[in-house]
Structure 1
Amino acid sequence: MMRTRAGLLDGAIRAFAERGLRRSTMQSVAAAAGVAKATLYNHFRTKDDVARALLAAEVDRLATSVTGLPAAAALGVLAEEVAGHPVLRRLAADEPEALVALLGVPAARWSEVVARLAEALGGVDAAAAEVVAAWLAGLVLQPGEPASRAEAAARLAVLLPPGDTPA
């Protein structure tokens, strides 16, 4: 069941990156995942449900990918992933209103993202994780150049509480 859901979300990445959220349909997501539309509907009721599940899965994937890394390396990886994410880049180019709506998550969801990020960064405090989350959200809107992202990640890592960063 989880393997099917992961495949559906991979298909959603492909469909949303190719067509954007607005022009993607449940049929295009199912086709990109290589399944029947009925299979997609067994897991998700609407395209918005797919998008929400994709966002949650991507947050978890990113947090897992940096767990245990030193702060500067973790922030560098996060910056590159966020700045180069195909769905985010598509939305920034073609559907900025959808991107803004995606970033404007409810306070409870934002708190979950910040807590997951704090954990992934080796248990930094919530205030430090909030600053990192806000920086990453800024990169979604304006990714800049790789060198400037790397420099910003290194500078931000220096500001994280020294005892809380992973070894």
Structure 2
Amino acid sequence: MGRTRAGLLDGAARTFAGYGLRGSTMQSVAAAAGVAKATLYNHFRTKEEVARALLAAELDRLSALAGELPPDAALRVLADEVAGHPVLRRLARDEPDVLTGLLAAAPERWAEHVSRLARALRVEPDAAELAARWLLGLVLQPGEPRIRRAGAARLAGLLAAS
């Protein structure tokens, strides 16, 4: 990803975390990124397109992070990341319908996400499907850190046994 695009997505993350998606504008995203609005429009046509690009970039980052760790540590880190992500927390609290729309994936996109998770965790696709659904649940309801981490350890044990 280019430096400009990365800066735009960083500005979007700060803006969306602070104001939500509905409360943000293309102008506020551009300002947070330190660029002119025209620069933002050179990369993205709509705020929703920015949000989807941010989500895709975060999925890439999390997949890379998980791939560097043993599966049990990867699940724990992924759980903490999705449970504590400032944009996801803001949307879950203030705009759950927007969050649900962003997270809903067509079957082929879901299969792609599950496949990436399977590679990162080094497990079979069926096991990755279970992990993906668990992580998706944490986006919506993160729970207590201690319980979430215990769940990650339990899930890692189940995946290892499969």
Please give the TM-score of this superposition, normalised by the length of structure 2.
0.96
Paired residues in the alignment total: 162
C-alpha contact (below 8 Å) 1:68/1:121 kept by paired residues: no
Q: Which amino acid aligns with 1:94?
A: D
Q: Give unmatched runs, 5+ long, in structure 2.
A: none
2: CA distance, partners of 1:162 / 1:11 = 42
Deviation at 1:59, TM superposition (A): 0.3
1: CA distance, partners of 2:127 / 2:161 = 11
2:119 equivalent in structure 1: 119
C-alpha contact (below 8 Å) 1:16/1:24 kept by paired residues: yes
2:98 equivalent in structure 1: 98
Alignment of structure 1 residues 1-167 onto 2, 5 Å: 2-122=2-122, 124-161=123-160
Q: Which amino acid aligns with 2:146?
A: A
1: CA distance, partners of 2:18 / 2:53 = 18
Identity %: 69
Deviation at 1:162, TM superposition (A): 5.1
1: CA distance, partners of 2:146 / 2:84 = 14
C-alpha contact (below 8 Å) 1:12/1:50 kept by paired residues: yes
Match of 2:147, SS state, is helix
1: CA distance, partners of 2:33 / 2:115 = 31
Q: Which amino acid aligns with 2:155?
A: L
C-alpha contact (below 8 Å) 1:82/1:140 kept by paired residues: yes
C-alpha contact (below 8 Å) 1:71/1:157 kept by paired residues: yes
2: CA distance, partners of 1:27 / 1:113 = 31
Deviation at 1:148, TM superposition (A): 0.4
Q: Which amino acid aligns with 1:8?
A: L
Q: Which amino acid aligns with 1:15?
A: T
Deviations 1:110-166 (A, max 9, x none): 1111111111112x1111111001000100111001100110000000011459xxx
Match of 1:22, SS state, is coil
Please give the TM-score of this superposition, normalised by the length of structure 1.
0.93
Root-mean-square deviation (Å): 1.3
Match of 1:109, SS state, is helix
2: CA distance, partners of 1:33 / 1:137 = 28
Match of 2:136, SS state, is helix
User: After the TM superposition, which segments of 4 or more aligned residues of structure 1 sit over 3 Å from their partners?
Assistant: none
Deviation at 1:70, TM superposition (A): 1.2
